[in-house]
Homo-oligomer: A and B are copies of this chain.
Amino acid sequence: MKARITVTLKNGVLDPQGKAIEGALGALGFDGVDSVRQGKVIDIALADTDKDTAQTRLSDMCEKLLANTVIENYQIEIL
């Protein structure tokens, strides 16, 4: 079973990487870019065949390793 986990910074958390991209886009002549935020995406292939078990295990992985829940949100999508 394949899943995609998207980890994004919570609102209000500073995102210097996003700001750098915003600046670079401006320097390349792309105007009208109001904001840029960068996050990460993690594609996992699991041996589980049951959707619910997979979902629970993935939440667990996010809480324990993949996301820093103090400053990041995560979203799990079973593909």
Give residues in A with beta carbon < 8 Å to B: 6, 8, 18, 21, 24-25, 28, 30-48, 57, 60-61, 64-66
Chain B nearest Cβ from A25, distance in angstroms: 6
A31 and B48 alpha carbons, distance in the complex (Å): 10
Known contacts A32-B47, A34-B47; A8/B41 CB under 8 A:
yes
In-complex Cβ contact of A35 among B24, B45, B48 (8 A): B45
Which residues of chain B are within 8 angstroms of A31 by Cβ–Cβ distance? 47
Q: Which residue of B lies closest to A66 (CB)?
A: B21
Closest to A39 in B: B41
Closest to A64 in B: B28
